Amino acid sequence: MGEYKQFLQLTHTLLTYLETLSNRFVKAKETGEKGDFYEEVKPFADEVKEINDKWQMEAEKWIKTDKPKNIHMQQIDSTYEHVEILSVQAFFPDTSRSRFNSSIVSARYVLNNIIYLLTKEEGES
Would you list the domain boundaries of the chain?
Answer: 2-124
Q: Which residue has the higher pLDDT, 125 or 18?
A: 18
Q: What is the mean pLDDT of residues 44-65?
A: 97
CA distance 81 to 75: 10
Say how far apart CA 51 and CA 89 lie, in whole Å. Answer: 18
Minimal CA–CA distance to 1: which of 120, 123, 124, 122? Answer: 122
Residue 2 has pLDDT above 80, yes or no: no
Fold of the CATH domain 2-124: Four Helix Bundle (Hemerythrin (Met), subunit A) (1.20.120)
Q: What is the pTM of this model?
A: 0.93
- Residue (of 112, 52, 125) closest to 86 by Cα position: 52
* CA–CA gap between residue 118 and residue 116 (Å, rounded): 6
